[in-house]
Chains A and B, each alone.
Chain A
Amino acid sequence: MIINVKNVSMQYKISNKRKIMALKNISYSIDEGETIGLIGLNGAGKSSSIKLLTGIIKPTSGVIQVMNMDPFKKRKQICRKYGVMFGQRSQLWWDLPVKDSFYVNGSIYGLSKKEVDRKIEFYKNWIDMSFMDVPVRKLSLGQRVISDILVSMLHEPKILFLDEATIALDVVNRKNILDMISKINRELKTTLIITSHQLDDIESVCERILLLNKGELIYDGSVINFLKNSSVSKVISVQTTDIEQFRDDITYIEKQYGVLSMYKGTEASIFYNNEQNEYKNIANYLSSCESVETFNVRGITLEERIILMEG
C-alpha cells in the first residue's frame, strides 16, 4: 500500500463565523502502480485531497500515510518521491526556453545538466519535444501542459499527482497527453492520481475511480463497474419552444418508457439506458411533439451522473 487515508476531514476557515468542510471523514487506500481518477464537480474536494496527500496542508482530523510517512510532517523527504503538476499553476519560467526550466527543476533534485538532457532524450520516445528551445510564453497550451508534466517527472517519482492536467485542452491535445500519461504508468510503473471533472479523461487512463461530491466519497471502485452499474448511459437533449407545453409530453415519456428527465430553461434532458433500445421509440414520440424544436443524443456528463446518483 503506497497511500493510506483514514477518516480524514478538512475544514477551511472563511471567516470567524463561516467555515466550510472540503472533505468529510474520507477513507481509502491506494496500491503501488495503480491509476486512480479522483473525480467530482468543482468544489468536491479533489484539489484539497491532492494538497493533503502532497503535505502542502494539514488535515483538520484523520490520518494520512504516504509511503508510510505523514506527508505534512515529512514533506521534504516525501517530495523526492512524488511529482505534482497543477493544471492552473505552472512551474515553468515564462520568458525562457522550456529547456531552461528543466535544468532549474533538475538542479532542485540534484540532477546535472547531462542527466536532464538524457531524460529529455528519453521523453522523446513518448511525445514530440521539438519545442524545447521555444520560450514558454510562445508555447501552445498543450505543449505547456506536456512540459509541466515532464518537468514533474524529472526525478522519476513513484507517485505522480496530476491536478486538472487536461483543463481547457482541445480533443487532440487531450488525447496526446492522456496517451503520454498511460505510457508513464506502463513503462515506469508510476502510481498515477489524476483529478478531473471530465469522466472521459479518467475512463481512458484510470482503472479505479474515487468519486467525491461535496466533500464526501460517494464511490470507490473500478471504472468498468462504475459505468456498468449506472442504469443510464445516454441522454436525449431536447430543445423546446415552450417548456410548459412540453411538460405533459415528458410526463408521458417517463411513464411509458420508464426513463428519467430533467429540464432547465427551454431545454430538457431525457436519460435512458442504451442497451434497452428505448431511443427509437422515444425519438418517434418526440418527432410528433409540436413543442419540440430539435433533439440530439449525447453521453451523460459527470454532473448529471452525480445528480442521478443522489436521486
Chain B
Amino acid sequence: MNLLLNICKMKIKVSFRYVPALVSNLSGQILQMLLLFFFWTTIYHADQSIMQYVMFSRVVYGFIGGNSVWELSENLKNGSVAVKLTKPMDYFTYTYVEYLATQIANLFLVGIPLSIIAFFISPVDISIIQLILFFISLFLAISISFAFDYNISLVCIFTRNTWGISSLRDGLVQIFSGAIIPLAIFPEPISNIIYFLPFAYMIDIPTNIILENDGYEKIIIQLIYCFFMFGFSIMNEKLFMKKMQIQGG
C-alpha cells in the first residue's frame, strides 16, 4: 500500500512537471467527448439515455487511461525488466502496482475534469451506493484492462511488432467496450458475443452501473473475469520468465 501511494504521488508530481503535456492530454479527451456529443445529437438525434451513456462511457475511458502495451512491451524488449526482477515482487505484481498508481493519478488529473463536463452536458442522479459500486467496478475494469495489456505485451515479444498490435488493441477496445458506440445498439447476437470478450468489462459495465442500468450482479461477473485474466497472466508470466533471455550488459 505504501508503495502504491508513493508511486501514485510520483506519477502526479511527474505530470505537474510537464504541465503542457497534461493540458494537451486533457484537452484531447474533452475534444473527443464533445465530438461524440455533437456526432450523436446531430447525426443520430440520440435520446437522453444514449447521450448519458456516451458521455459517461467517455468519462470511464478517461479514468482507465490509454494503452499501456507500448510501455510494457518496450520494458521487456530493451531489457529494463532486469531492474524490476531484482525487486522482491513478481514482475506482474510490480507492473500492476505501477499501472494502478498511474490510473489513480489519471483519475484526479483527467477523470474528475471529464466527469464535471459530463454532468454538465448530461446530468444524472447518483446515489452513494451507486458511487461505491461504480468505484468497485472501475477498479475491476482497470485490473482487467491491465491484465489484457500485459498479455498483449508478452505477445509483442514474439511478433516483434508492438505498433501494429498496440493499434489493433486500441481499435478493439474502442469498438467493443462501449467507448464510442453503446453496446446496447449492437444487434443481439453480436452483443451476446461481445459480452464474452473482456472489452465490455472495461467500459460498459462501470458506465451502466453509474447510470443505474446494471447492479452488483454485473460486478460479480466482472470479478470472475478479473480472476480469470489474472490467473491467465500469471501463468503466462511463468512461461515467459523460463524462456526469457536478457543478453548483454
Contact = CB atoms under 8 A, between A and B. Distances in A.
Contacts of A96: 10, 13-14, 17
Contacts of B7: 104
B20 interface: no
B100 to A, nearest CB: 14
Contact of A104 (B10, B83, B85, B249): B10
Nearest to B90: A76
Contacts of B5: 107
Interface in B142-186: none
A133 to B, nearest CB: 13
A29 interface: no
Interface stretch (A86-94, A179-187, A246-254): A86-94
Given A22-B247, A86-B82, A104-B7, A95 B14 contact: yes
Interface string A19-38: 00010000000000000000
A80 interface: yes
B79 interface: yes
A103 to B, nearest CB: 6
A51 interface: yes
Contacts of B83: 84, 86, 89-91
User: Secondary structure at chain A's binding surface: helix, strand, loop or mixed?
Assistant: mixed
Interface residues of B, number: 28
A76 B93 CA distance: 12
B80 A107 contact: no
A112 B3 CA distance: 10
Contacts, number: 78
A51 to B, nearest CB: 6
B42 interface: no
Given A88-B249, A104-B6, A112-B2, A80 B88 contact: yes
B88 A79 contact: yes
Interface residues of A, number: 41
A12 interface: yes
B10 A93 contact: yes
A87 to B, nearest CB: 7
Contacts of B6: 103-104, 107
Interface stretch (A54-62, A119-127, A208-216, A263-271): A54-62
Given A79-B86, A84-B86, A112-B2, A57 B244 contact: yes
Nearest to B97: A108
Contacts of B10: 93, 96, 100, 104
Interface in B82-132: 82-83, 85-90
Interface string B16-52: 0110000000000000000000000000000000000
15 contacts: A22-B247, A42-B249, A47-B248, A51-B246, A54-B86, A57-B246, A76-B88, A76-B90, A82-B86, A87-B249, A96-B17, A100-B9, A100-B13, A108-B89, A195-B249
Interface of A: 12-13, 22, 42, 46-48, 51, 54-58, 75-77, 79-80, 82, 84, 86-91, 93, 95-96, 100, 103-104, 107-110, 112, 135, 163-164, 195
